[in-house]
Structure 1
């Protein structure tokens, strides 16, 4: 396993309502993810898995503990610095795609690169390359509303990869898809990991975890309850 850590969480806790009884959303979580790993975070609704993902993404701050991603102390960043961090370090894939319906597919993919300061023509060349690689270049001039769910998620993946992030985060990436499209996205994420992309995904989709992840983390009541290496499917046949 590669030795370079991309994610280091140390005793991280987050409580959204200081007056509330019961466990915090996340409690004393420590986690290291190495470059090239694909990690699936599993757990019931309300277990803290999305909180964990949001802390890694810099969308939330811990009450205690430290969050370091690719050498950046994320827990210390202000709002503007957090936005720059996400553009430079993080690619994000969401359950409901979060594409802009009034922009073409190509414009959706190129937008994060332009926001990061890339010239428009350069951003669109990079977008065209990604769309071709992901097999959806024929839809470059279409609008997202005319695409299937699986195609829209491929556009979202291309957008997430446009700035060549060291870390790809996916929040229920197959949750809004039918079974065929879900299988398509599972295959795509597996290919990205095989090419060396570090991936952390939150999912209820056990097939996604088994197919795409080399490691599974279970979160229960805000605590990391289990952390284990996945056995490849072909090894148990």
Structure 2
């Protein structure tokens, strides 16, 4: 197996409740894997995603992503880490309605200081690859849910992150658009993109992921390979 891109070791996260959100969790994800994290509400899925994204810190244990100790980062360091190493896709897209599709996709590159010419070339490639190049001058509100999620994926991939995090990426979509996003994530992983997705959509998990990780009450309940 290739070296892990995500390495969670003995992680516990407690808030102001009696039960920890995560308890002594150890998990590895190898480069190039697609792993789906499943579990009921309150199982610890969102906490795990926030720790990997550097949006929160563990109470105990270590979080390492692409060789970076995420749990040690300062606030500024965590923001830089997210720009450079993480692409994030959300249930409700989080596109900026007053920017065009192209400008939404360009935004991460601008924040990272990518030269304008290189950024526009990269954005054009992504929009074409993801089938939304014809909407580059449109505003997000004019697009279908599936099209908006494709734009959100393009934005997430703009800075060539080694890791793509997807939080319920089909949760706000109709069945046809959800199937479209499932195919897209499968294609991205087949091309080598490492993906960690949190979902309640078992069809998404089983079609896109090579492993299913299930959490319950903050603990690892199962970690199984998906049958080919």
Is TM > 0.5 for Structure 1 vs Structure 2? yes
SS at match of 2:92: coil
Deviation string 1:115-153 (CA, Å, 9 cap, x unpaired) is: 001122321211111000011000000000000000000
1:25-104 map, 5 Å? 25-104=21-100
SS at match of 2:183: helix
Question: Is residue 7 from structure 1 mapped to residue 6 from structure 2 by the alignment?
Answer: yes
Q: Is the aligned partner of 1:230 residue 2:226?
A: yes
The answer as to whether partners of 1:107 and 1:124 remain within 8 angstroms in 2 is no
Structure 2 counterparts to residues 178-193 of structure 1, below 5 A: 178-193=174-189
Unaligned runs of 5+ in 1: 233-237
Q: Distance in 2 between matches of 1:3 and 1:126?
A: 28
Q: Shift of the alpha carbon at 1:67?
A: 0.2
**Tell me, what secondary structure is at the counterpart of 1:58?**
coil
- Corresponding residue SS for 1:121: helix
1:156 equivalent in alignment to 2:156:
no
CA distance in 2, matches of 1:170, 1:67: 18
- Distance in 2 separating the partners of 1:51 and 1:224: 13
1:109 and 1:154 mapped to 2: Cα distance?
Answer: 10
Q: Give the corresponding residue for 2:131.
A: 135
How many residues in Structure 1 have an aligned counterpart in Structure 2? 228
Match of residue 197 from structure 1: 193
TM-score scaled by length of structure 2? 0.99
TM-score (norm 1): 0.95
Distance 1:117 1:63 in 2: 33
1:176 — aligned with what?
172
Structure 1 segments, 4+ long, off by >6 Å, are none
Give SS of 2:12's match. strand
The DSSP-based 3-state class of the residue aligned with 1:124 is: helix
Deviations 1:23-72 (A, max 9, x none): 21111110010001000000001110110011001011001000000000
Structure 2: 5+ residue runs without aligned partners? Answer: none
